[in-house]
Structures are given as structure tokens and as C-alpha cells.
Structure 1
Amino acid sequence: MTRLKMAVIGLGKMGLHMIQQAEQAELNGSIKLVAVCEAHEETLRNFADAHAEISAYSDYMQLLDEHEIDLLYIAVPPKFHYPVVMEALQRKIHVFCEKPLANSTEEAREMLEAAEQAGVVHAVHFSMPHEPSVLKLQELVEQRSIGAIRKIELILQFPQWPRAWQQNSWISSREQGGFILEVGIHWIHMIQHVFGPITEVSSEVLYPDNAEECEHEVQAVMKLEDGIRIQLNGIAHFAGKERVSMVVYGTEGTIALENWEELMMGQVGQPLAPVEVDESMGELPVLKRVIARIQGQPAKIYDFNDGYRAQLVLEALRNPEGNTSHISR
């Protein structure tokens, strides 16, 4: 089997994480990481010093001109996804892009159309539906373990934003940062995957006086296609603990996914108790599945259509118009 030649654009936290996954895949003989690109000079130099065997570039166009790439992983800030992805698609390169897909619905739509026309594998790095706790949650919902669903609550609480490990020049910006975009997009996608399409969004976002800074609070009500309500409460900059959780209320009980992965459940009138999750249910890493799909093997991935559908909800949340937004696809 021919090894796929892979390149990584962006050497931030996610880019370096994906390189570690690529190195594991190299050991299995499925791919070879041949080049990276990073605009930050010191970061690029440090990487190049430690990885002499991998070509290093500060200009992604030069990288693409000088290497025949099979798979491009894109981990640059959101507003740069569009130009990099579109260039790769024009060259018929398989694309694996970080979330969110784009920085607007218009960009996301164009990227989806270009990907379909290019006839290549296109994937967004949505990992939550592959997690064991989410797979178990989906199983419980499908088995009606808590009866019919009454409503869903989504809680996004950050004492500090950006978080201590997350310091960079864009993640606190109003243009392409904020916890709705950076964290909320994961949950938007997962909710639509498990519970069905979100068709209505009504939100109120509180921004600070600094016009460059991202949101501090959000309250929203969303509706699924079947009318089930999703209440979103988000806040940053307060005294307390971080909480990123979803609570699903049913006619016969409640399921909670606390802090990303702690699954709990209880019947009406009873306390919540931990749910045993089989870690072997997990379907990670996503890169392995993208490679399999490129090689023509059956593999579950979330493509640009999933990215576009999530982007529609994300932008309706981030840019309230004073009225309920009806999500049309």
C-alpha cells in the first residue's frame, strides 16, 4: 500500500497534537509527514531544529508548490481556513480541517461546494461523537433510558477566558475567538449528530466595551426539528470553577455529560449516579479514520457538510439579529 504524503499547516497546540498522531500512523506505514508550515518564526525554527527530516515553511503556497501532498491538515486560526482550504481543493488534495470549518456561513458554503466538486475526502476535526462517553450517551438516548426528551441544557462556564493553556493572539478576539466559537462548536455538532438538526436559534450575547474583545456572556434558546428546546447559558470571567456540561431531561429521568466526559444518569426523583462507560467503545483518533477513508476503506468521518450545518447554528448564536433565526439548509 502506498504511503500517503501528509503536510500540517499551523504548529499551535492542535497542529503539534496532530503531528504526534501522524508519527504513530507513520509507524503503521500508512502515511509520511513530509512538510509543515508555520507563520511564527521562532516556533517554526524550533520545530525545524528538532525535525530535520521534515521540510519547514513559513509560506503554505511555497509548501504546496514544492511538495506533492496527498493529505493536508489545517490548524490555523479560523479566519485563515478559507484561503488555505480553497487552495488545497483546487489542487485536488484531501483536506482535514480544524473546527469550526470557516469564519462565516458564506465561506463554509463555498468550501463545501468546492470540496464536493474536487471529489476528494474532506473532513472536519469533530472528535466529540467519537468519544466513549458520547457514544454511550447516544446509546442511552436511543434506548429511551430516560423516556421522551423534555429539554436540554448546555452550560459553558469559564472563570478565565482564554484558559491558562490557551493563550494566543486570536482566541479572545471578537472576530474569530470566544468560547461560543471555540467550545460551543463542539457541542453544536455533537447535539445535531445525537439529537437531530437545530432549526431555530434565539440568542442574546453580552460583549465588553472593548470592541476587539470576544463575548463575556450568552443566553440562548435553540430548538430541534422536533421542537425540543436547548437552553444555552454561557459566562466567562467570574470566581468559581470551569464547567462545560450538557444535561438532558427526560420524562422518566435525566442524563448529564459533565465536564466533557463524566456521564451520569438517574431516574425521576433520584440522584444522578455515574454511568459505566466502556473505553474501548472510543473511535479516536480521527486522523486514523480520515486516512482509512482516503484509502477507500469504510470509516466514520464528519465532512464539510457537517461543518457547514454546525456553522449555520454557530453564526446564528454569535450574531443575534433580535429575532429568532430559522436555520435553513
Structure 2
Amino acid sequence: MVHIGIIGLGAIGQRLIKRFNEHSEVEVVAVCDQMDSLLAETTARLGGINGYTDYQQLIADEKVELVYVAVPPKLHHQIVLDVLKAEKHVLCEKPLANSLEEAEEMFQAAKRTNVVHAMNFPLNYEPATNLLAKMIDENYIGKLRRLQLSMYFPQWPRLWQQNNWVGGREQGGFVLEVGVHFIQQIIKIFGDVKNIQAQLELPEDPLKCETGIIATLELTDGTPVLIEGLSQIAGKEHIGFTAFGTEGVITLNNWGILKAGKNGEDLKEIAVDGKPYNNLIDELVKAVKGHDAEIYDFEVGYKAQRVLEQLRKI
């Protein structure tokens, strides 16, 4: 049994609490949040476990083996460094940090320890994402001509994301919150990128995040990558990650719908095998127990941050 402490009980933290509770080999033994009412409700729901408003007390809790850091990005840096100093395993929400300098310091600190350091990049464990990578590897689309990431949001922050930071310029915005997942996938599937050029559309209020982006990047072989997006528009939310090749096209829509077609054909939805794929919590348990595991560590987070910060330059 792996005993977990959670710092940050907002929407993302609560989502993973549910998954932790459903897993037979992990147990949430402590939680931390500065909002007293949320802390009280969560500890009561979890059976009266230890609750803290000071994250240092959670880290010091002898029951806690692994700390899940689910606070806003600008708080990751110090908390994660303190977890690593205490030599406890750590799972950090994306993005790794709130600047490239912070991300590098966290990555270097993690390398000096013997603990598990992992990022919550859930697309790595999704069947549709893995089938997309497999079809590209098997040359379904032929030679890659272009990658494109499109992100459209009628409203940002989305209705379920109303808080005091996700719509702010300092540590919010859809490029950071959504784009980082696909930046990580681009690097994983296709390798590093270069020649990053980005144009942001920014509101007059200097505290509010971007409302649009057009960016061009290149893979190391020169293949172009286009990232574009808008918020505050008509229509429905749509996120599309598309690979165009000499022989066909494959696209992942809205996180889990995979479509593909050969040149001259319509795109058709591809059935995703229902077999269970590796999942984050299974892999964390393996890693903590010292077994080989599919973990995306702080080096992965740092590489994604390097691209992310160039896209968000203001």
C-alpha cells in the first residue's frame, strides 16, 4: 500500500482523489488546503484523515510516502523542493513550474534524489493517444508533412474552472492549461522542436490571460508545427491535434476521439481498443516499489516547459 498526501483540494486535486480511492494499492492518508471549509469537507468525506492548512505539516507527516502537488503553478516550485528535501516521492501537476528557471531547478533537485518524481500528463495513458502514436509509427500517414494543434474555447476560463488564477496572465490561460499536454505529446512522439515563433492576442486588462495564439515551430528535421487557438468565441469547445502526411491524415479530437483517412478519403472515426492500458496510479505504485514503470518525470516536465515559456513570451 502506497500512502499519499495531497496538497491542493481544488477541481484537479478532487478528481485524482476519486481515482486514488478506487485503487486497491493506494490510500490517501492526509490532505492540505488553505480553505478551511474545503479541508473539513474533504477530510470528513475521506473518513477523518489528517488535514492541514500548512503544507509543511503534511510533508512532515510520517504516514505520507508520496506527495501529490495539485496547487496553482506558481506554488509548485517551493513546495516540490521541500518535498524533495524531505526525500519523499512526488507527483506534480502540469506544468512543472511557473517559469523555465523554476522548472530547471526542480528538475536538477529531483535528479539528485533517489525518489520517484512524476508529472501528471494523463494523455500518455489514454488508449486513443497511444493508438495515434502507433499508427504514425506504422507509417499510416506516410511521411509527416505538418502537425497542427487547434484550441477553441467559447469561454475561458471554462465554467468548471472558475477560480482566481486560471484566467490570469501570470499562471493561467489555455496555452498553459491545455496546450502543455499536447506540447508534451509532440516531444514524446516526434522529438524536440526548434524555431519557435508565437503571436499572442492579449486583452487590454494586463492581468488577464491570452485570448488567442498563432505560433509556428519546427521539428528537428524542419517539419512545420502550427499551434493556433482562440477563446471568447461562438460555437462549442474544440481541441484538435492533427498529423498530416503524404499518404493520409490522423487527428485526435477533444482528448479521446480518433479519426483517420487516407488521401482522397473522408476522415472516419477509429475504434479504440477497449483493453485496459497502463494508468498513472498503477505506474506510480510500481515505481515506488522499485519496479520498472511508465513514468513521465521532471525531465519530461522541464522539456515541455521550455517550449511552453517560449510560446507564452509577452
Q: Deviations over 1:185-227 (max 9, x none)?
A: 0000011111111222100011101010000000000111121
Paired residues of 2:31 and 2:43 also in contact (CA < 8 A): no
Q: Does 1:130 align with 2:125?
A: yes
Q: Does 1:257 align with 2:255?
A: no
Q: Hey, what's the Cα distance between the residues in 2 that align with 1:242 and 1:31?
A: 34
Q: Deviations over 1:42-95 (max 9, x none)?
A: 211222333343101111012223434210001000000011100000010000
Paired residues of 1:161 and 1:236 also in contact (CA < 8 A): yes
Count of residues in correspondence between the two structures: 314
Q: Hey, what's the Cα distance between the residues in 2 that align with 1:319 and 1:193?
A: 23
Question: What value does the CA root-mean-square deviation take over the aligned residues?
Answer: 1.2
Cα deviation, residue 4, structure 1: 2.5
The equivalent of 2:243 in structure 1 is 248
Segments of 4+ in structure 1 off by > 4 A? none
Paired residues of 2:147 and 2:226 also in contact (CA < 8 A): yes
What residue identity is the alignment partner of 1:140? M
Cα deviation, residue 282, structure 1: 2.6
The equivalent of 1:19 in structure 2 is 17
Greater shift, 154-163 or 254-263, is seen at 254-263
The equivalent of 1:153 in structure 2 is 148
Identity %: 39
TM value normalised by structure 2: 0.97
Secondary structure in 1 matching 2:166: coil
Q: Does 1:163 align with 2:158?
A: yes
The equivalent of 1:296 in structure 2 is 290
Mapping of 1:19-168 within 5 angstroms? 19-25=17-23, 28=24, 30-168=25-163
Cα deviation, residue 278, structure 1: 0.4
Q: Which runs of 5+ in 1 are unaligned?
A: 321-329
Q: Hey, what's the Cα distance between the residues in 1 that align with 2:208 and 2:6?
A: 29
Greater shift, 66-75 or 263-272, is seen at 66-75
Cα deviation, residue 280, structure 1: 1.3
Q: Which runs of 5+ in 2 are unaligned?
A: none
The equivalent of 1:313 in structure 2 is 307
Secondary structure in 2 matching 1:280: coil
What residue identity is the alignment partner of 2:102? E
Which of 276, 279, 292 does residue 274 from structure 2 map onto?
Answer: 279
Greater shift, 64-73 or 165-174, is seen at 64-73
Q: Hey, what's the Cα distance between the residues in 2 that align with 1:200 and 1:182?
A: 22
The equivalent of 1:323 in structure 2 is none
Secondary structure in 1 matching 2:22: helix
What residue identity is the alignment partner of 1:162? P
The equivalent of 1:324 in structure 2 is none
Paired residues of 1:208 and 1:215 also in contact (CA < 8 A): yes
Mapping of 1:217-256 within 5 angstroms? 217-256=212-251
Q: Hey, what's the Cα distance between the residues in 1 that align with 2:141 and 2:43?
A: 53
Q: Hey, what's the Cα distance between the residues in 1 that align with 2:157 and 2:72?
A: 14
Q: Hey, what's the Cα distance between the residues in 1 that align with 2:235 and 2:2?
A: 47
Greater shift, 46-55 or 5-14, is seen at 46-55
Paired residues of 2:155 and 2:232 also in contact (CA < 8 A): yes
Q: Does 1:4 align with 2:2?
A: yes
Paired residues of 1:82 and 1:111 also in contact (CA < 8 A): yes
Q: Hey, what's the Cα distance between the residues in 2 that align with 1:229 and 1:178?
A: 24
TM value normalised by structure 1: 0.93
